[in-house]
Structure 1
């Protein structure tokens, strides 16, 4: 049976709320198929006033907005990696999606809040992941050995230099596999064990734990504006 709900997870704080609204509008504007958009917004101190504005703005759209707090999605007892990077703790939310979404949900799309969607999101949703735990687009670094970005200690980790390196800004998650293989815990452990090398921590952990196990998506699904095609289809 075809699933008539598309599950999407977004994370935002009050400072980036305008981007959140823009992203959601791009989703609804371009969504022409019949599925309900079920959007889970992890609220990192978004004011009640801003939340109300967003709810009111989208009240007539074919979507369901679910608000979650940071404390709802990340257990305080979990030892989150901490270093001197500029990345806030909310970057780790994407790793916990399989844990905080209901177990009845088998699949989810994660999007960074600074994105806009230029085509029907159902085209992405309907990609069959098969036995892959996750799908993503290659980062502009392309491989783990790239001088810009990449994984600087890839040799010590036993990774071949040509191993693909993926961007974590857009993910399709196969939640059952992620849960059964305890992938979240493995990624957090890997980041903590290699913290001085984890320049983009969540992305680093995903790429080393799931090396050669990530389905590669077409570049059009996660690209910079100046490189985007006029017609994403």
Structure 2
């Protein structure tokens, strides 16, 4: 049995992805067979070679170039901005995995700002039944009042069931059989929903009622309002709390443990040492900037809630 794991990265994120890949390999079971595929558009040959060097007899590292024509309909528009201030196509790559890799009926997707602290095969063995995908509730937003209001009023969803898309166990066969991409593209082109978290909002809306919620240990996120999970299986340094920028981030020890045995360790330590308090203050302010979208989307006649009220079926 092959366990397919996907990342989507841009070239400038290689050093963080290397830490995640290193942790995945270190915790992989030699009795299993893993294939790790990096979806990308601009990954340099040097960085490909560095990432490939983490592979071994049972973890096979591969690269897949995303064709521009595939994602051309997803335009650089403000409603597709990540964190409300810039556009990155790579956040949408995960949605195309089932179509691009028809040989897999199930697949795992994880963001590059993660550390895998347990055997990812345990995650892959999740029984999805007829659910579209499995994921964890987004714990990073539960104490952010404006985000909770956005989920309730703009998305018309339950914030306690709103998942984070940084870790997904995809029912790839269901995505294909039920024409997920056609449905996604239709909604995208018809309504151009203005989103705080574009790919994540689409997944929450289209998967509503068919999302398997997993133990939060599989998407543990640094949070200043809660105690850390004692036995995280996967740590996701979501939003702006990156251990290579902040010294006091929850779960930072996991990151540096696996960073130490990558070729990027000194570079990462230097990045942390040279990151200024002014930059950290600016990072924290980005959250407020991101949440400014709630004000405009709440009165948008074409927001998710209004479109659903008009009778449009957004669920797959």
- 1:223 positional shift: 1.6
Q: Which ranges of structure 1 fall in alignment gaps of 5 or more residues? A: none
2:74 corresponding residue in structure 1: 80
SS of equivalent residue, structure 1 residue 31:
coil
1:30-50 CA-partner distances (Å, limit 9, x unpaired): 112511110111123111111
Larger helix proportion of the pair: 2
1:148 corresponding residue in structure 2: 146
2:162 corresponding residue in structure 1: 165
Closer, same or farther: CA 54–156 of 1 in aligned 2, 3 Å:
closer
Q: Which moved more, 1:210-219 or 1:44-53?
A: 44-53
1:181-209 CA-partner distances (Å, limit 9, x unpaired): 11122223334444353111101111111
Q: Distance in 1 between matches of 2:195 and 2:111?
A: 19
Q: Which moved more, 1:163-172 or 1:111-120?
A: 163-172
Greater radius of gyration (CA): 2
- Counting only pairs closer than 5 Å after superposition, residues 150-229 of structure 1 correspond to structure 2 as 152=150, 159=156, 161=158, 164-225=161-222, 227-229=227-229
1:93 corresponding residue in structure 2: 93
Q: Which moved more, 1:86-95 or 1:187-196?
A: 187-196
After TM superposition, the score normalised by the length of structure 1 is 0.84
Q: Which ranges of structure 2 fall in alignment gaps of 5 or more residues? A: 234-316
User: Residue 131 in 1 paired to residue 126 in 2?
Assistant: no
Larger strand proportion of the pair: 1
After TM superposition, the score normalised by the length of structure 2 is 0.64
1:130-154 CA-partner distances (Å, limit 9, x unpaired): 1101011011345xxx843358486
Q: Distance in 1 between matches of 2:77 and 2:107?
A: 29
Instruction: Give the alignment's Cα RMSD to 1 decimal.
Output: 2.6
SS of equivalent residue, structure 2 residue 116:
coil
Closer, same or farther: CA 30–199 of 1 in aligned 2, 3 Å:
same
Closer, same or farther: CA 21–130 of 1 in aligned 2, 3 Å:
same
* 8 Å Cα contact 1:163/1:211 also seen in 2: no
Q: Distance in 1 between matches of 2:186 and 2:128?
A: 25
SS of equivalent residue, structure 2 residue 169:
strand
* 8 Å Cα contact 1:81/1:188 also seen in 2: no
* 8 Å Cα contact 1:81/1:191 also seen in 2: no
Q: Distance in 2 between matches of 1:90 and 1:42?
A: 8
Aligned length: 223
- Counting only pairs closer than 5 Å after superposition, residues 36-47 of structure 1 correspond to structure 2 as 36-47=33-44
Q: Which moved more, 1:116-125 or 1:43-52?
A: 43-52
Q: Distance in 1 between matches of 2:148 and 2:181?
A: 20
Q: Distance in 2 between matches of 1:190 and 1:164?
A: 22
Q: Distance in 2 between matches of 1:109 and 1:20?
A: 15
1:90-143 CA-partner distances (Å, limit 9, x unpaired): 110010001111x2211000000101111111111111001101011011345x
The runs of at least 4 aligned residues of structure 1 exceeding 6 Å deviation read: none
Q: Distance in 2 between matches of 1:91 and 1:66?
A: 19
